[in-house]
Amino acid sequence: MADRPKVLVVDDTPFHSNFLKMYLTTKGYQVTVATDGVQGLAAAKSESYAFVFSDIEMPNMNGIEMLRSIKRLPAYAATPVIMLSTLDDAAMKQKADSFGAFHYMVKPFNSAKMDELFAKLKV
Amino acid sequence: MLDPGHFEDLLDNLERDVLAIDRTGDTGIVHLLFRTIHNLKSSSAQAGLSALAGDLHSLEDTMDRVRRGKVPWTPACYDQVTRVIDQVRLAIQSENLGADPLPPAEPAAVEPAPEAAMAPAPVPEAPAPGAGRWGRGFSQEAIAACQLAEAVGLGVYRIEKLFSKGLDEDTFLSLPVLEDIRELGKLIAFHPSWQAYSEGPEEQVVSFLFTSPRTETELACILFDPLLVLAEPRTGQPARRKERLRILIIEDDQTTAHLMQYILRQHGEVVVCATAMEGLACFHEALDGGDRFDMVLLDLVLPDLHGDGVLMEIREHEFRLGILDAGARCQVIISTANGNVDQIMLSLQHDPDGYLIKPVNFDLIIEKVADLKAQRLVAPEPDRP
């Protein structure tokens, strides 16, 4: 059990973080949930995660700010960070890309989107 | 997938906040409304209520424009929110009763409030009671700082950001939004103070008031939260409006530097620095002061720091300020002696705009300067023969 890879999920909506936690747990991951960017960044600094899922619209520190902060940590330079948003917006996708996001997923989640993501992650 | 309790909680928040705006006129509360509508939208989409999610998306778009100061809060906004609350309740009841998904909504219910969402404001936005032009709750000292900044041509901006309770002071004061503001300009004040925030309600909006020579477009490259323009910067004008070019020569060989200066001073203001550190200080001072250099002629071999490091620092500083467009950024031309071509190849990874091999062919520089004058000056002066 100790060898299960760890994944960080950052979302202030329990509905979404619960879904991701359930999905990722069944895939064999050990999931940590944070509810804003401040908590997410603190978790990323204290643990090593295989990849990170983050919502964008969050209080205190939004997902874009957290993405930038995480990508400045040398340990996370190559870690895939998947941004989650209900907004299918080209400018927002470009912003996430420019700050080093691995993937931009438009909510709602479904298995096809998650399969596509995991194919891209090659895990 | 539908959790009625979750929806009811969100609807209660929505009702509370829309009534509070109606009662107090405090449009800062619209950030809370936006957040709740955003959560309702994503929960609806996840629960398969796509028609409802579409209506909430329209409402979210309206609230986003209100919170970004693009349109005012009007009675139509209030009506739009309350209509959507009714729609959501209807949808929850339908789901709970096992009925068909949301019955076709009445036309009035699905129409976004067009005058608020789409059209320009019919009347200028009336400030909320107690709110001045610069925002609610700021001290006279902060307001005087805004007025001074506007008088000298700086932009004055306000970011309104949603916070939940519980951050300690060190964390609060080192948040990216504050670091970004300090990097891009000067923070004047934020309201409420940390003390008031820490003793305040579970969710609240904090306003950050700051000045910057940058334009809204430049700031938006870096900042994410709603940015309200309170005064447009005069110094952060697009490069095209400049009266003259500014050229920085970073070169330790006096003969070359003097020759470059002699030739280029016909085409603009020329500043010469003999070391990397002096050159970088000059570059930063000009950029932060809003009168940036258009071109840097950079020798790669300098006494204190390799020119490669100078180029990297220039590019990073421009990136931090949101100057990403190749047409707007400083044109950096690197130069070195004949035997150092390998160094030029290495420096290419930091994205210079051109390179020269000494002895310098001035025709190439003049050609570049002529291009810049055509791109950036108000009316390009005819080149002297």
Min Cα distance A80 → chain B (Å) is 21
pLDDT at B321: 61
Cα separation, B114 vs B96, in Å, equals 32
- Put simply, the answer to whether B164 touches A60 (Cβ < 8 Å) is yes
CA–CA distance from B5 to each of B73, B125, B202 (Å)?
Answer: 29, 37, 20
The closest CB to that of B167, out of A12, A38, A66, belongs to: A38
What is the number of CB-based contacts under 8 A between chain A and chain B? 57
CB B80 within 8 A of CB B113: yes
pLDDT at B279: 94
The closest CB to that of B38, out of A38, A66, A86, belongs to: A86
- The residue in chain A having the minimum alpha-carbon distance to the alpha carbon of residue B222 is A95
Residues in chain B closer than 8 A to A36 (CB atoms): 164
The closest CB to that of B175, out of A13, A61, A108, belongs to: A61
pTM for the full model? 0.58
Match domain A6-121 to its CATH number in 1.10.3720.10, 3.40.50.1970, 3.40.50.2300, 3.30.499.10.
3.40.50.2300
What would the mean pLDDT of A107-112 be, rounded to a whole number?
83
A1 interface with B at CB cutoff 8 Å: no
Cα separation, B362 vs B258, in Å, equals 13
Residues in chain B closer than 8 A to A99 (CB atoms): none
| HSE toward the beta carbon, residue B21, CA cutoff 13 A | 27
- The residue in chain B having the minimum alpha-carbon distance to the alpha carbon of residue A60 is B163
Residues in chain A closer than 8 A to B163 (CB atoms): 59-60
Local mean pLDDT, 10-residue blocks, chain B (385 residues) = 77 89 81 87 80 86 85 87 87 62 40 38 37 80 81 84 90 92 89 90 90 87 87 62 84 90 90 94 81 89 87 78 66 80 73 80 83 74 52
Cα separation, B341 vs B356, in Å, equals 10
Which residues have C-beta within 8 Å of that of residue B325, sequence separation ≥ 6? Answer: none
pLDDT at A50: 96
Residues in chain B closer than 8 A to A62 (CB atoms): 224-225
Residues in chain A closer than 8 A to B52 (CB atoms): none
Residues in chain B closer than 8 A to A37 (CB atoms): 176
pLDDT tens figures, A23-49: 999 999 999 999 999 999 999 999 999
CB B146 within 8 A of CB A39: no
CA–CA distance from B66 to each of B24, B102, B108, B121 (Å)?
Answer: 16, 28, 21, 11
pLDDT at B123: 35
Which residue out of B61, B202, B224 would a mutagenesis test of the A interface target, given it has the greatest number of A Cβ atoms within 10 Å? B224
Domains of chain B: 4-117 (1.20.120.160), 140-231 (3.30.70.1110), 239-376 (3.40.50.2300)
- Put simply, the answer to whether B46 touches A109 (Cβ < 8 Å) is yes
Cα separation, B269 vs A58, in Å, equals 47
